Each structure stands twice: as structure tokens, then as C-alpha cells.
Amino acid sequence: MQIDANPFPYHFDIAHTALVLIDMQRDFIEPGGFGETLGNNVALLEAIVPATQAVLAAWRQAAGLVVHTREAHAPDLSDCPPAKRNRGNPTLRIGDVGPMGRILVKGEPGSQIIDALAPVAGELVIDKPGKGMFYATGLHETLQQRGITHLLFGGVTTEVCVQTSMREANDRGYDGLLLEDCTESYFPHFKAAAIEMIRAQGAIVGWTAPSPALLAALHSG
């Protein structure tokens, strides 16, 4: 299968490709979570939900593997480096109680994937303590066991957890493609810059494409 992508076409086989949705959890997308405690306007991120829903539905229809990640720490914060918790001057720190439960803690309401993109049986759900999806998660081994070589990315935020995960994936030998309208940042110019730097220099980190290009590939089979 081929996607009309930048900087050149992206070839993939559904059986060896996973759709990875990064951190589409309430903590980043709804008021009262981690994103807002950092001083961000979270409203911007909701705009990608319809396009991401359409991709998820089409990918499920095609029987492709789906991976959902959440940035979430153990309740005792043993996997949260003090440097991460103590940095800056947020209104609430990781582990503190906010309007959606404890900020960025596993099992709390804020750490749940938003309803519109809720995981279903058979999909992988990965809690990660870092920005990148491979750090301290065991995900590389799981994907290798399943024969996954290609990764299609969406999620938030583009230049933080999505870009870090794409770079980690690139160094591990995966061919990654970022779905441009299924990712967003609190800073639109950071999103634009991340997209440009990913696909520069002959896809130095990976490919990018608008989601209709993926849907067209799936429909033409």
C-alpha cells in the first residue's frame, strides 16, 4: 500500500504497521489536567479529534494494530524523576490532586483516553513515564514480536511526546509517518516546525501526510 506523503510516497503493509495515538488523554485535552497546569490553552487540541476518530475507525476496519499511549506515573511516583516533578512553577505538580484527580497518575480520570478515542479489546494501551513511547515501556519488544516495522502517528503534543516517540522509533529502525491533521500542539508554530523538521533532508526522521491520504490508500486497498 502507498500513501501520497511528504517528502515522497510512503509504502506500508497493514500486517506490519501499527497506528500509534500518543497521549490522547484528558490530562492534555480537557481543562483541569496537566496541560493546563503548565499554563497552556488546551482548547486548541480538541480540533484534531474528528480526523483522528475517522482514521481510527478506518484502521480498525482494516484490522490494523492500534497502540494507545498515556503519559502516566505510578501512584507512588517511583517512576517520576524529581527533576520532572519539580521543574518550573506549575499551579499543580505531577501527583497533586486536580479537578480530574491526581495529575498525570495512572488510573486517575485525567489519565483516561478521551471517550471519542477510547481503546477497544485487542488494542495495546501503554502507560509511559517519559515523553517517548519506548522509554521504560517494553513496547519495542512487543512490536517486534508482532512483526511491526511501520508506525503511523497521531496524538499530542506534536513537538513533545509525538516527536520524541517518532525519533525513538526512527533510531530503532521503524519507518514512521505523522498524520498532520491528527496531531496538535499548544503552539501552532511548533507543530509546523516539527512537521518540517521530521520530513526534511529526505525524511531524516520520517514522513508526514494529511489523514485523507491514508484513508484514500485504505479505500483503494
Is 23 among the catalytic positions?
yes
Residue listed under C-alpha cell 510512503: 10
| 31 within 8 A of 108, measured Cβ to Cβ | no
CA distance 107 to 85: 18
- Provide, rounded to whole angstroms, the least separation between the CB of residue 38 and ligand TIU: 5
Q: Which residue is nearest to ligand TIU (CB)?
A: 161
- Provide, rounded to whole angstroms, the least separation between the CB of residue 199 and ligand TIU: 20
Residue listed under C-alpha cell 497518575: 105
- Provide, rounded to whole angstroms, the least separation between the CB of residue 120 and ligand TIU: 22
Q: How many residues bind ligand TIU (CB under 6 A)?
A: 10
| 153 within 8 A of 66, measured Cβ to Cβ | no
CA distance 150 to 169: 9
CA distance 67 to 21: 6
| Smaller CB separation from ligand TIU, 10 or 186 | 186
Q: Is 127 in the site for ligand TIU (CB under 6 A)?
A: no
Q: Is 160 in the site for ligand TIU (CB under 6 A)?
A: yes
- List the catalytic residues: 23, 128, 161
- In the complex, the residues that contact ligand TIU under the rule CB under 6 A are 23, 28, 38, 71, 131, 156-157, 160-161, 186
